[in-house]
Amino acid sequence: MLHFSGSSKGGWRVAATALAFAGAIALGGCGKKQEAQAVTGQVIAHIGSDDVTQQELENELRLANIAPDKRSDEVVKAALTRILERKYLLQQAIAAKLDREPTVHLDLLRSHEQVLAGAYVERDLRQKVATISNNETDQFIQAHPDRFANRKVFQIEQVSFAPQKDMESLASATKDFKTMDQVEAKLNDLGIKYNRGPAALDSATLPPEMLRPLEARKADDIFFIRSRTSASFFKVVSADDRPLAGDQATLLAKRELASDLAKKEAQDTSAAVLSSAKFEGDYARIMTAAATPTTPAATPAPAPAGEAQNAEKPAGEAQAGEPQKAGVEQKEAPKN
């Protein structure tokens, strides 16, 4: 029995919160319509003293990822209703002087910072991704044959279930199992609900830490993936050669290069922040100890199930009880 565990992925992340940002803009309003707060564009609706413009509606639809050809009357009505409700509730909050409460003020300030920081990161990363050259993608393809020329798709039989209180005992009790029927019988004995079914693992999207033991597997090997939120036993049924070339290979390579670039930018940002910041009091001690940025921890090498350790949920892992379509770090797999 071999065990895989995921690892938490560190990194600087920025989330844009449009709803809270709209409230932040209204901080100084105190219920009165001011020129500094006025929005520009064609006015399409009114709510109290506030106007709704065509640009606001377009932005609402954009944030909802609704394509222009999907914007039916019902969709537009729902989006415009959300804007009106938000503005109405904002007016009520201002009238109740909630904007003067310290915690609300801090929340609005934080949201304002998040929106601007997120917009900057998105624009900066988009510009850098656009400079990825064909030569870089070709080099990436050549350097990762397991994802391209030697790509394999592993068909697996899988049993998934919610994590149990004593996962160590379960891992130890099943470490010598050779069949999925044995696993199923054990789970039944323990009264653990599970879901059994087929799934697939694509070497184009698997991290090396998981791919290596899969390629070195024996015919009766059963693997165990666990995390804080789900767990799965699986056995490889077959491995099919699926070389990836042409446009699909280029697309995957660019996506991987973009992902690597985003991780590097996150690490560089974290390093720049910590090197330029100054701290007061005991925070200087606290932050100095954590000032050296670290890369995300690598996925631990497979270990016998009896030596399993708790881990974070692998990225892209299915919910407990659902067949997983990927390994420790799932990414969108090629479509062939």
Q: What is the pLDDT of residues 45-94, one digit of tens each?
A: 999 999 999 999 999 999 999 999 999 999 999 999 999 999 999 999 99
Across the chain, mean pLDDT equals 80
Half-sphere exposure for 2 (CA within 13 Å, toward CB): 22
- Alpha-helix residue ranges (DSSP H) falling in the chain: 18-25, 54-63, 73-95, 102-129, 134-143, 167-174, 180-189, 208-215, 246-276, 283-289
- The pLDDT, as a whole number, for residue 336 is 65
Average pLDDT of the segment spanning 4-24 = 39
Q: How confident is the model at residue 319 (pLDDT cuts 50, 70, 90)?
A: very low
Predicted confidence (pLDDT) per residue in 184-196, tens digit = 999 999 999 999 9
- The pLDDT, as a whole number, for residue 125 is 94
Residue 104: pLDDT above 90? Answer: yes
Interstrand relation of 194-202 and 152-161 (parallel, antiparallel or unpaired): antiparallel
Residue 166: pLDDT above 50? Answer: yes
Q: 201 vs 168, which has greater pLDDT?
A: 201
- The pLDDT, as a whole number, for residue 227 is 82
Average pLDDT of the segment spanning 210-232 = 91
Q: 303 vs 100, which has greater pLDDT?
A: 100
Answer whether 24's CB lies under 8 Å from 111's CB: yes
Q: 211 vs 300, which has greater pLDDT?
A: 211
Handedness of CA 265, 267, 271, 274 (dihedral sign): positive
- Residue given tokens 């770090």 in the structure block: 329
Which one-letter DSSP state was computed for residue 246?
A: H
Q: 292 vs 97, which has greater pLDDT?
A: 97
Answer whether 3's CB lies under 8 Å from 305's CB: yes
- The pLDDT, as a whole number, for residue 328 is 34
H or E stretch covering 231? strand 231-241
Instruction: Determine if the pTM surpasses 0.75.
Output: no
- The pLDDT, as a whole number, for residue 229 is 87
- The pLDDT, as a whole number, for residue 293 is 47
- The pLDDT, as a whole number, for residue 327 is 36
Answer whether 196's CB lies under 8 Å from 159's CB: yes
Q: How confident is the model at residue 289 (pLDDT cuts 50, 70, 90)?
A: confident
- Percent of the chain past pLDDT 90, that is, above it, reads 66
Predicted confidence (pLDDT) per residue in 238-256, tens digit = 999 999 999 999 999 999 9
- The pLDDT, as a whole number, for residue 226 is 86
- The pLDDT, as a whole number, for residue 39 is 55
The residue type found at 185 is A
Q: How confident is the model at residue 335 (pLDDT cuts 50, 70, 90)?
A: low
